[in-house]
Structure 1
Amino acid sequence: MWSFFSRDPTKDFAYEVGEPVRGLEDRSVWTLHKGKKRGTQDEVSIFLFDVQKNSETLFDIAKASLKKLKTMRHPSLLHYLDSCETEKFLYVATEYVEPLATHIEDMKLEGQQRELFLAWGIFQITRALSFLNNDGNMRHNNVCLYSVFVTLAGEWKLGGFEFLASQGQDGSNPIPLKILPALEIYDPPEKKDPSKLKSMTKCSTDMWGLGCLIWEAFNGPLKTQPALKTVDHIPKQLCTLYCELVSANPASRPNPADIITRCRKIGGYFKNDLIDTMLFLEEIQIKDKVEKGKFFSTLSSYLDNFPESVCVHKILPQLLTAFHYGDAGSFVLGPMFKLGKLLEDADYQKQIVPCVVKLFASNDRTTRSRLLQQLDQFIMHLQNSTVNDQIFPQVVHGFLDTNPIIREQTVKSIVHLAPKLNYNNLNVEVLRHFARLQSKDDQGGIRTNTTVCLGKIASHLHPQIRQKVLVSAFVRATRDPFPPARQA
């Protein structure tokens, strides 16, 4: 019985605490650590509160913020996984993130990629605040550079719920005392001017915080409040809104829902290719096939301007999901292969190759045609065994297809496949089909291309077969009634 009460509570906590992560320091009651899930070794973040080093008041704040984190779910709020309390520490496991302050400091993005990344991030936090202020009837009371975190997919998540309160909960003092001195710089001016408290709205405090966050996103950590008047680094299309957010009059600060509506209009700060793409992917389940086809057919042209982290960890998984569980079909091929180039080989084998194998088995001519046309983009990632056992048996059907375009593309594809084909598939199967196509196909262009391709794959043929096959093939070509075939 006594062993039950004395056992270590962390044994039930499925996460290991790793090295600390810089970026929060004196601006949070928590210290942030890297972590891993036991068993799977999946990366997570661990927010740690030291019970013995901190005051009872801060401990109460930490426990209250944990309670709020547990109960709230939104795509732009920090995602809670698990927690554990011991005599020494309070542990909270979340999705893997890093502080926005650290992320921006270390960020290597430049030009349009940087601009799109910041716009997408600010949009997400504005959306999170609209959820809290309007849907949840709550005030966050702690919006700044240090309450925002960034995932591997480049998504901004709002955390730092230490001072979150329901509307009307605060009584006579609607702006809470921060306790941590380093956070006082983010207090809105009405905190020191009681006459302005009456003009506060349900979102005015958080909109001031959003203004501070925008300033810091483009300038770095805020050192003094008067610096907020410097707008040199803030994009011109955002300046008017920014000035409204940091207005001394609380009533002049806009509602976050109105900000989103205004900035999503043509020419608005939130109206760009990245945000359009991310919002489409969020709603892809309710889009019809025509909309999906149009979206995927134009997506490749935008990808070079998107941050790599967003492409690899957010857009690509959505494409794969759309392929496996939706009706996106062959439209996803272009962007999928383009993003596949950003993957390590092990990840390519795990994520892209199964899709390729599945697609080669498709009876849809359009799909097979697109695959054969783009073979050069992924053939280098395919194992020889995969090509011989799973892909070639599907490709070979193309030699007999009634559609001449498919037959011709199948012939051309052998140039890419030949180095990976085994003896039987190349020296027996391919040559048997080539001989038939070269002598009997009714399309002169296919007969010509068969001769050309035979010349290109000659070096991969077995030496004992090569000379015999080439001589008879080229003799046959010289007697072809189609002039280009004789010249090939």
Structure 2
Amino acid sequence: MNFLAKTLNSTIGTLTGSSIPYDLGQRIVNGVCSDSLEPNSVWNVYEGTSRKEPSTRVTVFEFDLKNPRASRYVLFARNAFKKLRSLSLLPGILNVVDFIENDSFLYIISERVKPLGNVLVMGSFDKMPQCEFLLLGIYQITVALKYLNKEGSSIHGSLCKNSIFVNEAGEWKLGGFELVVNIQERDSQILSQAFDLPSYQSTIHPPELNEQGLDYISRASLTQILKLDAYYLGFFIYSLFNSEVQRPDPPQLNKPNKLPISLASHVKKLLHKSPSVRYSVEEFLNAGMQSCFNLPLISVSKQISELSFKSNAEKLEIFSSLDEFEQFPDGFFEYKVLPELITTFQSLLTNQDNQQSALLLLILKRVDQLDEGTFQHQVKPLVLRAFELPDRAIRITLLSSLPTIINYFQPYEIQDRIFPNLVQGFNDTNSSIREATIKSVLPVADKLSGRQVNNDILKYMAKLQNDPTPEIRANTIICLSKIASYMNPSSRTPVLITAYSKALKDPFVPSRIISLLAFENSIEYFPPEVCCSKVLSAIAPALLDKSSKVRTEARRVFNLYFSKIDEAANQLPLDSEETIHLESQDSENILARLDTLSLSGVKLKNTQSSLLGLGPNASSGSTVSLTMKNLSPSSESLNVGRPLKSLSNADVEENWDAMDDEWHYASDCEDKPVLRHLEVTQNRQESEKLKTALRLDKGDPKTPKGSLKLQPKSKLKLNLDDDDVDGWEGQW
């Protein structure tokens, strides 16, 4: 039982192609062994991948030798299998990587290709002019056919859309070798059954074959037999530009119809009914190089194909010509040009004459034409290595291209591989490097860690605000405003206000304008309280700036912030009527008390007393009362204009003592809410005792109790230093 199971599995595996080291995918061509009612090939063609190298994509041509439907086509399949073995190395021929034959199947493993018919239907020339796309393909097939005729000494015999394939590089490749015969041997058995081929029946054949049959091939001269492929080429070209015409009549082929003017006369000669007048393929190629094939795209394609024979200097000259082209055919740059660019870049040891930086620029300019897998495997390692190179031209190239390639990198690759090398540009002595480094922060900011943004980046930004180059100072503010959303919320507000305020004092006018715009863009990060206490005070000086443009912007931004504050104020709750009434009363009381503090409200009870109780009758026992009230002036009021009498030393001492008592009493009342009046009472007996004590103790004076004391100096120190202008230390 196990034996039967193994046998069955082996048979199924062989039938499905699992016996070969390739996995078969989607079928792209229905062959004679398929269920298709209108097969257009003897082969079933599949997309495939190598099991040994899954990244290697191939196309598998499969022919089932045991299928009853395939019996009449075995001869053609074996002929194609044999001829491709010997001719696939010629330029323009389908590139075959493997041939596999067993008892049941024939396999031809080629590079990944698509049938030309599928490519034309898909519109692969949408990115470039259709005429250029078709002319490039015609040139490539003409070259392949020329090599097959001359160097391969063979004729194709069935050139048509079904025998042409397009590889991943956008190159047209010649396949369909079922009728290929050597012009010396002229295998009559193959040629006699030519009409059995599906593609051969749908093709317009040369007049000589229609008139004399396939026997003409065995009788024709070498020159005449090669003209057969020229006729097939002419009809193929005609059908490309006139696809709506399925089987045109021979007279109709002589009309140019939709053919380009530069090509029409040559196609007419390819389709001439007389073989002696008709172009050969080689003659058509030589004539076309002076006219229809004289195109920059064809020239570059030809030079790229010959790069292996060029020196580095010649390669660089060819690569530089690529800048003339905005678009290439699909895959041309990715599979044809890119490998050569990378190989040449890696072969150069230094960036002498900016050769490496020029190659790197060519690669990075066209990353949008690359498949993501191609970038990951080929371009990314090159970029990471280039960031480690100290050359400034390479660094500028990388920084300027960063916005277009950054999305191909993972955050950990940016944080660990790119960022440590990128920030070195902040300290570069070249201002262009510093400016490019600032701009490169924007595309990477969202992929950096919090520490890299809030510590490393802000540290360099603070330093760059003092940069001698004014454009760098302006760009620093732009960068800060754009990465503000990635900053730590706890430190963002003080950092931005400090940086923007400093920029408003910059002598470079664009820096001041940019700072105001930054204030506008960052308004969401500042709460109303901060807008009142910090932002308005920073913007206000700009209202009187020397530049009228700065003043205009400052007025607009100031009003913007003021509107935000006003809106926040309108949302605050209103006081109750009782609260408003009490506050109004307190205000009136305070104003009334302040109004009494004037000399016009001072009244002396003793008319003989002088100002503050200092008079000639100091020794009398009268009591002086100084009361501050709102009294109308009277004869007893203080006459300010009256001259003061001369005072003796004793009087001064006695009265400084009295003033000392009064200040002490006033200091005791400072904490009381209401100061009603101040009365100074001094009796004669106490005054005499103090006077006597002062006279007795002149030698060793002692400060009597309640006398005037000198207060210590104030410890209040005002720090009038300006804000930190050298950085933002302590702001985060």
Q: Deviations over 1:128-174 (max 9, x none)?
A: 11111122222222222222112233221111212222232128999
SS at match of 2:92: coil
State the distance in 2 between where 1:370 and 1:342 align: 18
Deviations, residues 350-392 of structure 1 (Å, cap 9, x unaligned)? 4433332222222221121122223222233332212111111
Distance change in 2, residues 1:176/1:323 (3 Å): farther
Are the aligned partners of 2:42 and 2:73 in contact in 1 as well (CA < 8 Å)?
yes
Which residue number corresponds to residue 451 of structure 1? 477
Change (3 A) 1:62 1:233: same
State the SS of the aligned residue for 2:272: coil
2:230 is the alignment partner of 1:223: no
Does the 8 A contact of 1:22 with 1:102 survive in 2?
no
Q: Deviations along 1:234-270, whole A, 9 cap, x unmatched?
A: 22211111111111121323343333333223xx222
SS in 1 for 2:366: helix
Cα pair 2:169 2:331 within 8 Å, conserved: yes
- Structure 1 residue 89 corresponds to structure 2 residue 116: no
Map of 1:310 onto structure 2: 332
User: Are 1:136 and 2:152 counterparts?
Assistant: yes
Q: 1:273 aligns with which of 284, 292, 296?
A: 296
Are residues 172 and 248 of structure 1, via their aligned partners in 2, closer, same or farther at CA, if it must alter by over 3 Å?
farther
Letter in 1 for 2:284: I
Identity of aligned residues (%): 32
Q: Output the amino acid matched with 1:133.
A: N
Equivalent position of 1:190 in the other structure? 208
Alignment correspondent of 1:69: 84
Structure 2 match to 1:210:
233
- Summarize deviations over 1:200-238 as a string: whole Å, max 9, x none: 446211111111221222233853552534531222211
Using the alignment, how far apart are the partners of 2:331 and 2:153 within structure 1? 33
Matched, 1:166 2:182: yes
Separation (CA, whole Å) in 1 of partners of 2:453 and 2:432: 22
Indicate conservation of the 8 Å contact 2:26/2:47, yes or no. Answer: yes
Quick one: distance in 1 between partners of 2:407 and 2:113? 33
The amino acid that maps onto 2:247 is: K
Counterpart of 2:269 in structure 1 is 244
TM-score with structure 1 setting the length: 0.85
What are the Cα deviations for residues 290-312 of structure 1, in whole angstroms up to 9, with x where unaligned? 555555455355233x3334344
Q: Structure 1 residue 113: deviation in Å? A: 3.2
Alpha-carbon displacement from aligned partner over 1:41-95 (angstroms, at most 9, x marks no partner): 4443222323242576642332122111112213411122333334443232222
Distance across 2 between alignment mates of 1:46 and 1:122: 25
Deviations 1:303-356 (A, max 9, x none): 33x333434444444444444456852224444334322445555444433332
**TM-score normalised by length of structure 2:** 0.59
Counterpart CA distance in 2 for 1:74 and 1:407 is: 52
C-alpha spacing 1:133/1:174, structure 2 compared with 1 (3 Å): farther
Contact (CA 8 Å) 1:23, 1:146: kept in 2 or not? no
**Correspondence for 1:14:** 21
Structure 2: how far apart are the matches of 1:45 and 1:445? 56
Aligned to 2:135: 119
Counterparts of 2:274 and 2:419 in 1: how far apart (Å)?
A: 70
How many residues align? The count is 482
Query: Which residue pairs with 1:257 in the alignment?
Result: 282
The structure 2 residue matched to 1:51, chosen from 62, 65, 69, is 65
For the 8 Å contact 1:133–1:202, the answer to whether it is kept is no
Pair 1:389-2:416 in alignment: yes
Indicate the SS of the match to 1:82. Answer: strand
- Larger RCO (alpha carbons 8 Å, 6+ apart): 1
Secondary structure at the aligned position of 2:457 is classed as helix
- Equivalent-residue separation in structure 1 for 2:190 and 2:272 (angstroms): 18
**Mapped partners of 2:190, 2:109: distance in 1:** 30
Distance 1:62 1:286, change over 3 A: closer
How far apart, in 2, do the equivalents of 1:71 and 1:383 lie?
47
Amino acid paired to 1:152: E
2:414 touches 2:448 (CA, 8 Å); kept in 1?
Answer: yes
Moved more, 214-223 or 408-417: 214-223
Q: 1:408 aligned to 2:435?
A: yes
**Matched residues in 1 for 2:232 and 2:101: separation?**
31
Q: CA deviation at 1:273?
A: 3.3
Aligned to 2:449: 422
CA distance in 1, matches of 2:420, 2:45: 53
Q: CA 1:179–1:416 in structure 2 vs 1: closer, same or farther (change >3 Å)? A: closer
Report the secondary structure of 1:252's partner residue: coil
Alignment gaps of 5+ in structure 1: none
1:30 maps to a residue whose letter is: W
SS in 2 for 1:303: coil
Q: Is the CA contact (8 Å cut-off) linking 1:297 and 1:334 kept in structure 2?
A: no
**Residues 105 and 414 of structure 1, relative CA distance in 2, 3 Å threshold:** closer
- Mark the runs of 5 or more structure 2 residues left unpaired by the alignment: 1-6, 32-37, 516-732
